[in-house]
């Protein structure tokens, strides 16, 4: 079975290496195999430049652990940015260099946005034609081809995005089809999809498509996963206080597996055969004390997926 892991959320670490150590100790005690670290939560990059002294401190701490690592790059990176693109490229490259220095194998990158999250309130004034969007899409293709060639040792996994009420589509990756198209356009072995289960479920409810079929169609491109739960209710772009939204079942809540309504078994069964990446739980920091419960729920689901897939295939072949 592939490695089961958990992300240590940036809000938990908040630059503190002692807090990082506490999180790592918990995951080692519970016999996790993999950990995802947010480079921004460690304060290892400032204004596009990697702080090598800071990275060495992180490396020294990690030397006491035997995890497989992935790294989450800062969410605001946008290779479609039209005001300060060089800085965005620099932050992405610094994130990759951080990943290499801590011997991570995967870097998660949020694909380019036509409209940055900071400009959502001005969305109507920044609407674009399909030709303008295509130019930005092609710009990202070229940049990621160059970066993938420059750093062949790391697999860059592009994460599908969540939608927002009245402000989507702000990113082509809200749907898996265009994301798969971009990965195929880039055409590099070290560019894959990071399948975020919470995001695809939210998008499926917002746009009215079948999440299971959508994942099935991109299954061969999936190189990494973010696994967390929600109820499929999309929010406004400015609603970030999850403590206020959870009572209503709203938002990208990043809850433990089994707490929401995502059909994990059905989705996992579409790609588990042949998948060689990590199963990375991406819980919000407020749920870290439930990481073991989430892991055990996920283990039970994974154990049932292969027989479930065999049954699905047999039913399809027989036409019954």
Any idea what the CATH number is for the domain that residue 55 is in? Answer: 3.20.20.150
Predicted pLDDT at 266:
97
| Helix (H/G/I), strand (E/B), else coil: 242 | helix
Predicted pLDDT at 238:
61
Predicted pLDDT at 217:
98
Predicted pLDDT at 167:
72
| Residue-range definition of the domain harbouring residue 131 | 4-318
191: Cβ–Cβ under 8 A, 6 or more apart, which residues? 144, 148, 155, 156, 157, 158, 183
What is the rounded CA–CA span in Å between residue 299 and residue 293?
10
Q: Which residue has the tokens 């880039």?
A: 186
182: tokens are 């971009």
Beta strands (DSSP E) in 161-256 are 191-196, 222-227
Number of domains within the chain: 1
Predicted pLDDT at 62:
98
Tell me which H or E stretch contains 46: strand 45-46
Predicted pLDDT at 114:
86
Q: Which residue has the tokens 């750093």?
A: 151
Predicted pLDDT at 319:
33
82: tokens are 């039209």
Q: Which residue has the tokens 């006491």?
A: 64
Averaged pLDDT in 10-residue chunks for the chain of 320 residues: 88 96 98 97 97 98 97 96 94 98 98 79 66 94 98 98 80 96 98 98 96 98 98 77 84 96 97 95 96 97 72 34
User: Helix axis angle, 85-101 relative to 130-150, nearest 10°?
Assistant: 30
The answer to whether the Cα torsion of 303, 306, 310, 311 is positive or negative is positive
Predicted pLDDT at 164:
80
């Amino acid at each position: 079975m592939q490695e089961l892991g958990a992300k240590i959320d940036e809000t938990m670490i908040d630059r503190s290496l002692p807090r990082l150590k506490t999180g790592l100790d918990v995951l080692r005690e519970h016999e996790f195999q993999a950990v995802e670290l947010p480079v921004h939560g460690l304060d290892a990059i400032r204004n596009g430049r990697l702080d090598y002294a800071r990275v060495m401190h992180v490396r020294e701490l990690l030397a006491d652990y035997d995890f497989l690592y992935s790294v989450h790059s800062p969410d605001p990176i946008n290779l479609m940015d039209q005001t300060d693109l060089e800085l965005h490229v620099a932050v992405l490259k610094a994130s990759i260099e951080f990943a290499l220095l801590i011997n991570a194998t995967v870097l998660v990158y949020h694909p380019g946005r036509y409209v940055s999250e900071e400009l959502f309130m001005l969305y109507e004034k920044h609407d674009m034609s399909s030709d303008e969007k295509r130019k930005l899409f092609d710009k990202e293709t070229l940049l990621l081809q160059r970066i993938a060639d420059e750093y062949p040792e790391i697999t860059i996994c592009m994460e599908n995005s969540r939608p927002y009420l009245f402000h989507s589509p702000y990113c082509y990756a809200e749907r898996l089809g265009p994301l798969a198209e971009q990965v195929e356009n880039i055409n590099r072995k070290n560019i894959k999809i990071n399948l975020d289960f919470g995001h695809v479920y939210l998008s499926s409810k917002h746009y009215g498509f079948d999440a299971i079929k959508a994942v099935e169609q991109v299954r061969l491109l999936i190189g990494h996963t973010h696994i967390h739960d929600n109820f499929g209710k999309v929010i406004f772009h400015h609603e970030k206080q999850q403590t206020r939204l959870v009572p209503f079942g709203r938002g990208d809540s990043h809850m433990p597996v089994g707490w929401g309504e995502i059909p994990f078994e059905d989705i996992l069964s579409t790609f588990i055969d042949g998948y060689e990446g990590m199963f990375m739980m991406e819980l919000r920091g407020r749920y870290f004390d439930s990481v073991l419960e989430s892991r055990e729920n996920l283990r039970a689901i994974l154990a049932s997926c292969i027989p479930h897939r065999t049954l699905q295939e047999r039913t399809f072949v027989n036409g019954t």
